[in-house]
Chain A
Amino acid sequence: MSLTIHPEAILRELSELWVSLGKEADQDYPSGVLRACTMTLLAVVEESEDTSDVWSVIAALMPEHPSRAIVIRFRQQAGRELSARVFSQCWMPFGYRRQICCEQIEITASDASLPDLPAVIVPLAVSDLPVILWCRGTRLLGLPDFPLLARIAHKLVLDSSAFPDPADILNRLNAHSRSGQVLGDLAWTRLTRWRELVSQIFENRDYVARLPGVAQVRVGFGGDRPPTSAYYLAAWLLDCLEHSGAKAHVSWEPAPDASPGQLARIELIGANGDGSRASIAVAADGERQCAQVQVDSLSSMRLFPPDNDYVLLREELSIPGRDPVYERTLTQAARLASGRKSKP
């Protein structure tokens, strides 16, 4: 393994790869190879992690978000060390004559070489297209030089639910966001289906008219303290309710049947005597999640799609720019989490 890498050499290898794919394609697929690219997707992982999982997520994303993918594996090591390999991934969509290919680069780096990485990544990033940084390790976000890498990216995507202290990570993210970093948090992405259901309930004008009377928001969660997703959802609900003139407060309610870190239920309750109530309760049903929606006496059941990394990233990659609803919610969620933490 070499101790350093040269972006020009990687680009040359990529170019040779395309030529050889073209030659193969001439023989096997007379219509040639179609090279598609909408972004540079940069994934940073711990070296100990099995990168085949990461590559399989990236492969699944390629048809909808074709990109130049760069995976950086970090090794906890003091010496400066970098190495790289280049390959491509092609697929033949069913029923089509042309195969689609995307470029993939894998870099192995020691922690100490993190400051050297921007000089490698910048020339490797596809020009004029966004760079999305997907950070998979909780430790990596804490590396002192991580901001050097984050600065290259148009958007930083991570999963705050993997961090042990919700208040701490929400406040850190809020600070990043306030400094101008565009963020995507998969813990927030997981809530899209929940939020969509809430919104769907209030497409009904009769129910919207009752919103100013909502006095309480109950959030049920597994474990002994609310996860980041519970703070996000409560913050979003409070913010939206405030827009409709409601002054509601949040009640946190542990749900014994739910696994730690899971959201189990939300409920909007009208002021005393009003009797209005809308709730969504989600329970696992094998590999799927069933959401029971109850508004007054009317109930219905919805299935939530699976929320694996592929599904969540697919949604985040569709929003390369700022998400004002998320940013507003993040500020409020950080405040809620800090407020709860400071209580004895």
Chain B
Amino acid sequence: MSLENPFQDPLRFERRIPECAVVIFGANGDLTKRKLLPALYRLAYERRLSPEFAVLGISRSPMSDSEFRDRMCSSVSEYLEDSPFDKEVWEGFAQSLYYMSGDVMDPGTFSTLASRLKEIEEQRHTSSNVLFYLSTQPSHYEPAAKGIGEAGLGTGKGWRRIVVEKPFGRDLASAWALSDKLHEVFRESDVYRIDHYLGKETVQNILAFRFGNGIFEPLWNRRYVNSVQITAAESIGVEGRGAYYQEAGALRDMIQNHLLQIMATIAMEPSATFQPDAVRDERAKLLRSIRIMKPSEVLENSVAGQYGPARIGGADVAGFRQEPGVDAESQTNTYAAVTFLVDNWRWAGVPFYIRTGKRLPKRVTEIAIQFNSAPHAVFGDNGDGTTPNLLILRIQPEEGISLRFLSKRPGAGMKLRPVSMDFNYGSSFGERSPTAYETLLLDAMVGDATLYTRQDMVEASWAVVEPIMQVWDQNKFDFSNYPAGTWGPKAADEMLARRGHAWRKP
């Protein structure tokens, strides 16, 4: 007898989440309040959640179920994005929220967790499906996984999965060690390493754009593409997280994970199917094709930066070293720019310039693909005839795609000027886009790991970034080297100029 649901209608129905319990470690933390609970509430609002759904929050603070519900109600109404808060929907959803206090370092927490899960399963019919979400500090990942395993919660009648937030280690060795610990309890296919950038609509749209259309892919190679720039700029500073950021830095915090994943999405080969492992195999293959720099090549192809004090909009802005909790001699990079090369047939010789930084002039994340100029200037020096075609994939704030091409200026003569053809997701499709956490939580509950990072991808990214980190760690930089509110150190401009390129000013 088939156990397929005969009532499915994929043409009209949204993807449904099967019955399950979500166990959130760090339920009183910022991520839970700002992102996870608002995303789960939104899924309830959209009627995506099964009636047999439950959330069990765990953190050290003692709290009753009802206090947890009240606290989450305030958080959801405060942090819900582009969406109304509906009291009635909340009341229905709140019934599925439970709480227990416990310390992940205490084995007793996990025996209590086992009995709470059993109770919840009886009350909510969750069929023993459990998604564990580690929304804790990274040092708690290993004890949490160990506790889950020792309490026998890593397996059960239903499925068991675990979601881990970045950082996935601090370097290649610690990434391996973390994976080993997780694998003592969970199979790799049940480990979901979340990279919220991959949950963004536009990043997913890169796949649709590249592989759903026939006209772009033939141009997507070294023959037509001159260079690629990936920019993730933030206008804010460390916002009171100086102590944490001092340990991370821009290279670790952004490039090792988010931006290399974006680069992999841009440059990967088409997968044969849209099955999670087929797509992830291609991403991993691309990451493994990125040329690993020799120590002698690092300073030529990467630039570390740190912002200094400045006046922006009439107000004084502190430099990184002046931020609270930051060492006055800190060598932390708040800006990182790297030139990557990909050693495969498609991309040989095409530079991928990646930069990210804090306190840059604006908040923008975008990918710019610069095509080769026309091989022969038929129109001579008539206007802006040398401007190359540019394809911009904007990830935030205005998600969309722009194509810059040349057109004749109206009037007599043949003078050319660049024009931009824009496609904005927000204005072309009025529908609200789901937040990255809505997409990724839904995927984890459905068991679709396409947008999650696999162990081999994490290792490949660390293998690329680690040599840069090592050289930077051995050097003493003369920080600060860019004033807050500017586009980064001069050395970053020089790095591109050596290859005849210049950074875009998005």
Contact = CB atoms under 8 A, between A and B. Distances in A.
A204 B125 contact: yes
Nearest to B51: A300
Contacts of A64: 429-431
Contacts, number: 116
Contacts of A319: 11-12
A63 interface: yes
Given A34-B422, A301-B92, A199 B431 contact: no
B425 to A, nearest CB: 10
A199 B52 contact: no
B52 A298 contact: yes
A211 interface: yes
Given A93-B424, A98-B424, A295-B51, A240 B1 contact: no
Interface size class of B (residues with CB under 8 A): 35 or more
Interface in A156-201: 192-193, 195-201
B19 interface: yes
Given A63-B429, A203-B19, A243 B422 contact: no
A223 to B, nearest CB: 26
B478 interface: no
Given A204-B52, A240-B6, A197 B47 contact: yes
B394 to A, nearest CB: 12
B181 to A, nearest CB: 31
A219 B92 CA distance: 26
A315 interface: yes
B474 interface: no
B47 A302 contact: yes
B155 interface: no
Contact of B13 (A196, A290, A301): A196
B422 A63 contact: no
Task: Pick from A93, A245, A300 the residue with the most CB of B within 10 Å.
Answer: A300
B7 interface: yes
Contacts of B89: 303
Question: Interface majority SS on A: helix, strand, loop or mixed?
Answer: mixed
Contact of A195 (B9, B125, B431): B9
A300 B92 contact: yes
B427 A98 contact: yes
Given A66-B428, A93-B424, A206-B127, A212 B1 contact: yes
B171 to A, nearest CB: 41
Interface string B99-136: 00000000000000000000000001101000000000
Nearest to A191: B12
B96 to A, nearest CB: 9
Nearest to A212: B1
Given A66-B428, A196-B13, A240 B422 contact: no
Contacts of A211: 6
Q: What's the dominant secondary structure at chain B's contact region?
A: loop
A20 to B, nearest CB: 16
B11 A325 contact: yes
Interface string A32-53: 0010100000000000000000
A201 B51 contact: yes
A207 to B, nearest CB: 9
A34 to B, nearest CB: 7
Given A195-B13, A196-B13, A240-B7, A298 B127 contact: no
Contacts of B11: 319, 323-325
B127 A205 contact: yes
B6 A196 contact: no
B447 interface: no
A100 interface: yes
Contacts of B426: 93, 95-96
Contacts of A244: 1-2, 6
Contacts of B430: 62-64, 93
Interface residues of A, number: 48
A303 B88 contact: yes
Nearest to A99: B427
B4 interface: yes
A323 B424 CA distance: 29
Given A196-B13, A319-B11, A208 B50 contact: no
A258 to B, nearest CB: 21
Interface string B407-450: 00000000000000010101111110000000000000000000
Interface in B69-109: 86, 88-89, 92
Contacts of B124: 298
Nearest to A293: B51
A344 B139 CA distance: 76
B398 interface: yes
Given A204-B50, A244-B2, A295-B51, A302 B92 contact: yes
Nearest to B49: A200
Contact of A209 (B1, B13, B47): B1
Interface string A60-104: 001110100000000000000000000000000101101010000
Interface in A213-254: 240-241, 243-245
B18 interface: yes
B8 interface: yes
Contact of A243 (B6, B52, B86, B92): B6
A279 to B, nearest CB: 12
Interface in B1-44: 1-9, 11-14, 16-19
B51 A325 contact: no
A202 interface: yes
A42 B46 CA distance: 30
Nearest to B421: A34
Nearest to A38: B428
Given A95-B426, A206-B125, 18 more contacts: A63-B427, A63-B429, A93-B426, A93-B430, A98-B422, A196-B14, A201-B51, A202-B7, A204-B50, A204-B125, A208-B3, A208-B5, A209-B1, A298-B51, A302-B47, A303-B89, A319-B12, A325-B12
Interface of A: 31, 34, 36, 62-64, 66, 93, 95-96, 98, 100, 192-193, 195-206, 208-209, 211-212, 240-241, 243-245, 290, 293, 295, 298, 300-303, 315, 319, 323-325
Q: Which 4 residue pairs spanning A and B have beta carbons closest together?
A: A63-B430, A93-B427, A199-B7, A300-B51
